[in-house]
Homo-oligomer: A and B are copies of this chain.
Amino acid sequence: MSTITAVDVLDIRFPTSLELDGSDAMNTDPDYSAAYLIIRTDAGDELEGHGLVFTIGRGNEVEAAAIGALRAHILGLDVEGLLGDMGATWKLLAHDSQLRWLGPEKGVMHMAIGAVVNALWDLKAKRAGLPLWDLLSRMTPAELVALVDFRYLTDALTPEEALDILRQAEPGRAARRTRLLAEGYPAYTTTPGWLGYSDDKLVHLAKEAVADRFRQIKLKVGDNLQDDIRRLRTAREAVGPDIKIAVDANQRWDVDTAIEWIKHLAPFDIAWIEEPTSPDDVLGHAVIARAVAPIPVATGEHVQNRVVFKQMLQAGSLEVLQIDAARVAGVNENVAILLLAAKFGVRVCPHAGGVGLCEAVQHLSMFDFVALSGNKDDRMIEFVDHLHEHFVTPIDVHDGCYWPPSAPGGGSEMVGSSLAEFLFPDGPVWTRLDAGLTAPVSEKAPRAVAKAVS
């Protein structure tokens, strides 16, 4: 018997806007950040659960406050009880009627629940001495189904159907595990395609991606059509005809604009069009998907929960479903979404990048391959080469693939010195930026930006 003795919450920010890493048509100056938590126990085994919500700067303190609001839900509770029934633990957090009012099941509060859920999974995997993907892959179909909250899903997926899907995958688990370890899991890279990069930098990074054996790159689009056409042509010339190029509009367009704009990009052999419009617009995505076919529509990194994914599958809004490790309410809800994707037969290509999203989401794809969809041939995990050095178990990406982590845990644990260095606003990185501040501060710019634009 052990109990949870502390839930520490940290506001961690990286001044990435200084370099325009991560810039796109909607997010022009992100400071990649994490509202971060550490769950400690009195088990005496030194094991901690780490989890995070990725944000892009301002408002990270709001996300941290939301995680703090959940502290009282788990502090002092029995660890074995919480970890032994993660389905019930999920509901303990997600069904709190008062906190639910703040969503329900969306936005700041829902992402905070995801961070707590993921931190508990991290602790559970560390206790099991297994990487999360392997822990999940060893659970029985019934245990996996018990993780899922089927409320609002049963018109599309019942517990019985979920059980069938998992049971069908059961006989092949061992063979696919062996294949995963031998082959890795395919990756694609967004590193060349940020909107703030020059054409020269784009060409250089695109060629580097091909040399690194990636089979797909992704370009940000949507700010200016002529720029998009020029950059696509440039990228296509750089990588040749055999490398796939996806494009990502980051929600920039209305429905009709999307359809028109995509027609102009179609000649460059687009692998998919990502986030053409509002992530809330199930029907709008469906209209776009029909209009731009056979170019697949991809979305998901901002899709708030399983209920919206359910509808996107029902309506035919997407062909490529992009789960995110830190947008929905953690591992449990992503298991639900993977089951929905399997039921509807669409491929899952996770969103990653940011802070620690690659480290976390790879576990879900690898589990999906071993024990759920049983498929990875037409699937890829996004790869962005930023900030991995801050993680205790950074991703291992080479030869165009993610290679399965063997370290126990869920992957979100950051290095202690990084947590100290990038603590906002009092860590040394931020106090140094503060001291070097020379440019005039925009009157509307809160502190993070005031520092980053200096």
Residues of A within 8 A of B (CB): 26-31, 55-59, 61-63, 65-66, 69, 72-74, 76-77, 92, 96-111, 150-155, 251, 254-256, 277-284, 287, 302, 304-305, 307-308, 310-311, 314-315, 443-449
Contacts and interface: CB of A to CB of B under 8 A. Distances in A.
Contact of A100 (B26, B255, B446): B26
A310 B254 CA distance: 13
A98 B281 contact: no
20 contacts: A27-B98, A28-B97, A30-B98, A62-B69, A63-B102, A102-B107, A102-B108, A103-B106, A103-B108, A105-B278, A105-B280, A106-B304, A150-B254, A152-B284, A155-B254, A155-B255, A155-B284, A280-B311, A281-B311, A284-B311
Contact of A59 (B28, B99, B150, B279): B99
Nearest to A448: B98
B69 A58 contact: yes
* Residue of A73, A76, A443, A448 ringed by the most chain B CB atoms within 10 A: A443
B58 A96 contact: yes
Nearest to A315: B283
B63 A59 contact: no
Contacts of A277: 152
Contacts of A278: 104-105, 151-152, 307
A98 B31 contact: yes
A314 B28 contact: no
Nearest to A153: B254
A101 B283 contact: no
A308 B103 CA distance: 14
A104 B111 CA distance: 12
Contact of A62 (B108, B443, B444): B108
A351 B283 CA distance: 25
A31 B76 CA distance: 24
A308 B278 CA distance: 10
Choose among A58, A255, A279, A308 the residue with the greatest number of B CB atoms under 10 Å from its CB: A58
A109 to B, nearest CB: 6
Contacts of A254: 150-155
Contact of A107 (B29, B110, B310): B110
B98 A58 contact: yes
A105 B61 CA distance: 18
Contacts of A287: 155
A417 to B, nearest CB: 26
A101 B280 contact: no
A65 B112 CA distance: 14
A304 B152 CA distance: 17
Contacts of A101: 27, 30, 55-56, 59
A204 to B, nearest CB: 27
Query: Which one of A27, A72, A73, A279 has the greatest number of beta carbons of chain B within 10 Å?
Result: A72
Given A26-B97, A155-B256, A302-B104, A59 B109 contact: yes
B27 A281 contact: no
A186 to B, nearest CB: 27
Contacts of A26: 97, 100
Contacts of A302: 104
A100 B62 CA distance: 12
A274 to B, nearest CB: 15
Contacts of A155: 254-256, 284, 287
B28 A446 contact: no
Given A56-B97, A256-B155, A69 B77 contact: no
A58 B95 CA distance: 13
Contacts of A314: 283
Contacts of A282: 282-283, 311
Contacts of A56: 97-98, 101
